[in-house]
Amino acid sequence: MNKNILLLIIILSIGSYSNNFLNQKSEELDLEVNKKKKIILDLRKKIKIEKTEFNYLINPERIQKLANKHLKKDYIIYEKKNIKKIY
């Protein structure tokens, strides 16, 4: 009878320790996952901003305006519709 009680106490102690250990590891992994999710969110925001800035910078009207302002007046600006393909 005493052996059974001692064995039960040992099993419960090991089970309790294992449960506590696994809970701590689970919490650590949850924190790590949350950090990664935050990094991904930040990167997605940055990508959206970069795409917006890129689209603004390559806007043909803006480029034309800058060309007129900064390039010499004898500079010839080609428009895509005026370029013919040669085969």
Distance CA 20, CA 13 (A): 11
Q: Please indicate, yes or no, if residue 24 is contained in any of the structural domains.
A: yes
Query: Structural domain of residue 56, as residue ranges?
Result: 2-81
Return averaged pLDDT per consecutive 10 residues of the chain, 87 residues in all.
88 93 96 98 97 88 83 74 72
Domains: count for the chain = 1
The confidence score (pLDDT) of residue 27 equals: 97
Q: Please indicate, yes or no, if residue 55 is contained in any of the structural domains.
A: yes
The confidence score (pLDDT) of residue 64 equals: 81
The confidence score (pLDDT) of residue 43 equals: 98
* Measured CA distances, 27 to 6, 13, 21, 32, 83 (Å): 32, 21, 10, 9, 63
* Sequence letter at residue 82: N
Residue 77 contacts residue 64 (beta carbons within 8 Å): yes
List pLDDT tens digits, range 44-55: 999 999 999 998
Q: Please indicate, yes or no, if residue 59 is contained in any of the structural domains.
A: yes
Backbone φ, ψ for residue 48 (5° rounding):
-60, -45
Predicted TM-score (pTM) of this structure: 0.58
